Amino acid sequence: MSLSLLQIAYSSLLPHIKRTPMRKNEATRILLSDETLDHEYLPITGLASFTSAAAKLILGPTSPAVQEQRTVSVQTISGTGANHLGALFLSRFYKWDGAPKIWLSNPTWANHHAIFKNVGIQPVDYPYYDPKTIGLDYDGFISALQTAPERSVFLLHACAHNPTGVDPTQEQWKSVAEVMAVKKHYAFFDSAYQGFASGGLDKDAWAVRYFVERGVALLICQSFAKNAGLYGERVGALHIVSPTREAADRVKSQLSVLQRSEISNPPTYGARLVSLILNDDVLFDEWKKDIQTMSGRIIDMRKELFRILTEELKTPGNWDHIMNQIGMFSFTGINPEQSKALVEKGHIYLTANGRISMAGLNTHNIRYFAENLDKVVR
């Protein structure tokens, strides 16, 4: 296809693209006006300008793991692909004592179970959410880390835990890292919401960076679906941190072999967009502002929901968790019958476990939601 035809084809997508956040339009415009672009394959490990910038985004621009070239970064089919490739890699190369097992928080993103089972790793639960406090079961979590056999693999949500919206505090993360280091556990970090929890990209990467500093063996699955609004473009990366550069070279070679047999090489468009944003100071600053707008709006909705429930409607029960939880999701603490009543009577759609998407609330529908929630818990 000639370049002009390519541009016509892309421009037919523009009415759709116009509805997406402003900076992506700017990056899209730059990308579409680049007459040197073609449809060639990317290298097996992806677009290097994207993967290296993505590694710095999660690990920090001055991370020793990046500077000492101990990190291998591979472009993946969004966060799901990163989870899959990370799981596949561990299934082949982790020195398992006995049958391969991964410890998953109870509850977790439902797909984690399927992803690990697919590659022959058995999921087992660790306590995470305490329905009594609608918060973190910190003691249960720590005790699972302490009692698991040495060198167990634990999946950790880097921030904005899905589905509960419950994250450890920094002090709690420090203790988790301490136990993991002592027990030589492996941290399988899933980072699908960087920026969405606090509004700050660095703040949301704090746990990952702390674990690297503390010397916990780890990998990170990174998704740009939510924070860059690129759901359908499937932009993600897997970063594996090794103790030495030589080990990292071997990891890279094995990851390339696995990636080759699965997808040959990853798709170009979304990676080019994210690479443009991450490698340009102006676009990067604008993106950070967009993220603050998105996360700030969610935080405002939390405050407003809490205010309506507690001050106006005087809804029975404690609603502090609405404010304490973080990110896109909130576990309301309502039971399956109450969730069903919201769906059937109020046409408010949520999962049976009482999880709502805070991003679905806005100034027009929040009162309707709060009033219906009030009715079903009374």
Interface contacts to ligand PMP, rule CB under 6 A = 78-80, 109, 157, 162, 190, 192, 223, 225, 231, 236
Closest CA to 165 of 47, 343, 327: 327
- Collapsing DSSP to helix, strand or coil, 74 comes out as strand
| CA distances, 150 to each of 44, 95, 182 (Å) | 34, 12, 9
Q: Two tokens at 194?
A: 């960087």
Residue 208 or 376: the one with the smaller Cβ distance to ligand PMP is: 208
Residue 28 or 191: the one with the smaller Cβ distance to ligand PMP is: 191
Catalytic residue among 204, 226, 287, 319: 226
Residue 109: CB minimum distance to ligand PMP, A:
4
Instruction: Kindly report the number of other CB atoms within 10 A of residue 197's CB atom.
Output: 24
* Residue owning tokens 């591979």: 74
Residue 228 or 301: the one with the smaller Cβ distance to ligand PMP is: 228
DSSP 98: S
Residue 28 or 194: the one with the smaller Cβ distance to ligand PMP is: 194
Residue 55 or 225: the one with the smaller Cβ distance to ligand PMP is: 225
Residue 315: CB minimum distance to ligand PMP, A:
28
Residue 89: CB minimum distance to ligand PMP, A:
17
Q: Two tokens at 140?
A: 């249960």
Residue 237: CB minimum distance to ligand PMP, A:
10
Residue 113: CB minimum distance to ligand PMP, A:
12
* Residue owning tokens 């929901």: 305
Residue 350 or 373: the one with the smaller Cβ distance to ligand PMP is: 350
Residue 159: CB minimum distance to ligand PMP, A:
10
- Collapsing DSSP to helix, strand or coil, 217 comes out as strand
Residue 80: CB minimum distance to ligand PMP, A:
3
* 76: β partners: 236
**Rounded CA gap, 331 and 367, in Å?**
18
Closest CA to 218 of 236, 203, 201, 239: 239
8 A C-beta contact, residue 169 and residue 210: no
- Strands laid side by side in the 71-77 sheet: 71-77, 235-241, 217-223, 186-191, 153-157, 101-106, 122-127
Going by DSSP bridges, is the β-strand pair 135-136/129-130 parallel, antiparallel, or unpaired?
antiparallel
Catalytic residue among 137, 167, 190, 290: 190
8 A C-beta contact, residue 110 and residue 251: no
8 A C-beta contact, residue 116 and residue 85: no
**226 labelled catalytic:** yes
Residue 148 or 235: the one with the smaller Cβ distance to ligand PMP is: 235
8 A C-beta contact, residue 194 and residue 294: no
Catalytic residue among 103, 109, 173, 319: 109
Instruction: Kindly report the number of other CB atoms within 10 A of residue 244's CB atom.
Output: 11
The set of catalytic residues is 109, 190, 226
